[in-house]
Structure 1
Amino acid sequence: MRILTTVLLAVALVFGSFTAQAGELQQSPISPKSTPKLKYPKVVLYSASWCPHCKAAKEYFTRNNIPFINRDVELDPAAMAEVTDKYKSQGVPLIVLGDDAVVLKGFSEARFEKAVEKLKKK
């Protein structure tokens, strides 16, 4: 019992020493000037769960930290109506950039990035 108490006391002292040192470390504040500018416009992806091109788009957006809104046309009747009526499309994926500034039917990384660059220049 005495050995256990000694070991626990030693561990507590060592742990306390590390936490005290960690508390002394200074962190620099985040400057609003150094925060990155928004790289991508608003991205809305109209998709379906069975669609391989939709899956590729989602994976690309996720892998590249591109924020996007996914609207599954099978689960959301309003999304299906927007695809067919507003955007006059019969297929997915359909990608809308900005406030309807660019509408891409289908998905390819190159076409997506080209559309984003074109939109940035406006």
Structure 2
Amino acid sequence: MENVIVYTSNNCPHCKQVKSFLSEQGIAYEERNIETNDEFAQQVWDMGIRAVPLTIIGEHRIMGMNKLQFNKALAPQTEA
């Protein structure tokens, strides 16, 4: 499984939804709170993103709580 990183902020309802969703799926993730760590905030900014939650799963960047995109990113990789 690829590393999963979730960029969050304090009091962010969508961030909580993403973390709950990943936990329910049994997926370990690294939370990076942009309010408590300037370096994490800069990483998000450098990607051209201006909002959280932002979830990185391998090559996938998922904005907000988008189950369709999560399921696609988390699906077992199959050879085309």
Query: TM-score, normalized by length of structure 2?
Result: 0.87
Match of 1:103 in 2: 61
The higher radius of gyration belongs to 1
Task: Please give the root-mean-square deviation of Cα atoms over the aligned residues, in Å.
Answer: 1.6
5+ long unaligned stretches in structure 2: none
Q: CA-to-partner distance for each residue in 1:72-122, whole Å, 9 max, x for gaps?
A: 00001110000011x110000001112xx11112222222111222x7236
Following superposition of structure 1 onto structure 2, how do residues 84-103 of structure 1 map, counting pairs within 5 Å?
Answer: 84-85=45-46, 87-98=47-58, 101-103=59-61
Q: Which has the higher contact order (CA 8 A, sep 6+)?
A: 2
- Ranges in structure 1 where 5+ consecutive residues have no aligned partner: 1-39
CA distance in 2, matches of 1:66, 1:47: 17
Alpha-carbon separation, structure 1, partners of 2:44 and 2:26 = 25
Secondary structure (helix, strand or coil) at the match of 2:65 reads: coil
In structure 1, the partner of 2:40 is 79
Q: Percent identity?
A: 27
The residue aligned with 2:73 is 115
1:120 alignment partner, SS class: coil
Higher helix share: 1
Q: Please list the CA deviations of residues 56-84 of structure 1 after superposition, one character each: whole Å capped at 9, or x if unmatched.
A: 00111112210100000000111000001
Letter in 1 for 2:77: K
Aligned residues: 79
Report the TM-score when normalising by structure 1: 0.59
- Greater percentage in strand: 2
